[in-house]
């Protein structure tokens, strides 16, 4: 029963966020939407920001698990934008609110984790048994994390008006081979003693 109530509160919050800016989503509106009393809400959550944080972090965990074996940077982008594409108005209401930082933390975490997962396989395939320096690995992961994050933030700033997947695919086409070149340079640096 407790899990059901907790999930109903989350569902009600998302429904309201689809209709209203975050500043207008109140505990009163949430409890009315799901037909519980205020005490029940406060049993599970300290306030609306705490509820929102749990919703966002739970979704991040699900996306990271679902895309733990991403086969391309495009799949990483799909993972990082999945919730936004499925909940456009909700995301824009949060993104335009005083809690924008919460969504950016979520996005940054998802971008890092899916890129790190994808990169592990790439490093293994391209290094041909040679070890890539750990600091180079992390540097390349952060580079692609920032690339994904930046592309998504610009897309959000445009109110998601363009096809981000199409644009990102084109960007990857324009810079094909860049990641492979970074790995080769890292391996060459290690061989020459950096």
Task: Determine the Cα–Cα distance for residues 78 and 25; give it in Å rounded to an integer.
Answer: 28
Angle, CA 84 vertex, CA 81 and CA 89 arms, to 5°: 160
Q: The tokens of 68 are what?
A: 């733990």
Q: What is the pLDDT of residues 110-131, one digit of tens each?
A: 888 888 887 776 666 666 667 7
pLDDT at residue 157, as a whole number: 93
Neighbouring CB atoms inside 10 A of 122's CB total 19
pLDDT at residue 125, as a whole number: 63
Task: State yes or no: pLDDT of 178 exceeds 60.
Answer: yes
Which helix (H) or strand (E) is 8 found in, with range? helix 2-19
- For the chain, the distance separating the N- and C-terminal CA atoms, rounded to the nearest angstrom, is 60
Contact in structure between 84 and 111 (CB atoms under 8 Å): no
pLDDT at residue 169, as a whole number: 87
Angle, CA 76 vertex, CA 81 and CA 121 arms, to 5°: 165
pLDDT at residue 116, as a whole number: 84
pTM summary value? 0.81
Q: The tokens of 1 are what?
A: 């029963």
Neighbouring CB atoms inside 10 A of 91's CB total 22
Task: State yes or no: pLDDT of 40 exceeds 80.
Answer: yes
Task: State yes or no: pLDDT of 83 exceeds 90.
Answer: no
151: confidence class by pLDDT, cuts 50, 70, 90: very high
Neighbouring CB atoms inside 10 A of 124's CB total 11
Which domains, and CATH codes, for the chain? 1-45 (1.10.10.60), 48-191 (no CATH)
Mean pLDDT calculated for residue range 96-105: 88
Residue with tokens 């610009």: 154
Which helix (H) or strand (E) is 145 found in, with range? helix 134-157
Contact in structure between 94 and 103 (CB atoms under 8 Å): yes
Contact in structure between 114 and 64 (CB atoms under 8 Å): yes
Mean pLDDT calculated for residue range 72-95: 86
pLDDT at residue 48, as a whole number: 93
Mean pLDDT calculated for residue range 83-95: 89
Task: State yes or no: pLDDT of 192 exceeds 60.
Answer: no
pLDDT at residue 43, as a whole number: 93
Which comes out higher in pLDDT, residue 180 or 5?
A: 5
The percentage of the chain sitting over the pLDDT mark of 70, rounded to a whole number, equals 91
Which helix (H) or strand (E) is 54 found in, with range? helix 48-66
pLDDT at residue 61, as a whole number: 84
């Amino acid at each position: 029963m407790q899990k059901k109530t907790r999930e109903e509160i989350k569902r009600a919050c998302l429904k309201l966020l689809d209709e209203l800016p975050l500043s207008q989503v109140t505990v009163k509106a949430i409890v009315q939407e799901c037909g519980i009393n205020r005490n029940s809400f406060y049993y599970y959550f300290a306030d609306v920001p705490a509820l929102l944080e749990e919703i966002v972090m739970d979704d991040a965990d699900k996306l990271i698990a679902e895309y733990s074996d991403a086969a391309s940077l495009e799949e990483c982008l799909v993972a990082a934008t999945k919730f936004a594409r499925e909940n456009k108005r909700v995301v824009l209401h949060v993104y335009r609110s005083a809690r924008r930082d919460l969504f950016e933390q979520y996005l940054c975490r998802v971008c890092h984790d899916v890129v790190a997962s994808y990169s592990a396989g790439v490093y293994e395939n391209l290094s041909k048994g040679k070890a890539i320096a750990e600091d180079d690995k992390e540097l390349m992961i952060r580079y692609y994390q920032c690339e994904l994050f930046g592309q998504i933030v610009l897309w959000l700033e445009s109110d998601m008006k363009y096809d981000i997947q199409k644009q990102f695919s084109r960007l990857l086409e324009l810079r094909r081979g860049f990641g492979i070149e970074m790995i080769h340079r890292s391996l060459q640096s290690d061989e020459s003693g950096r």
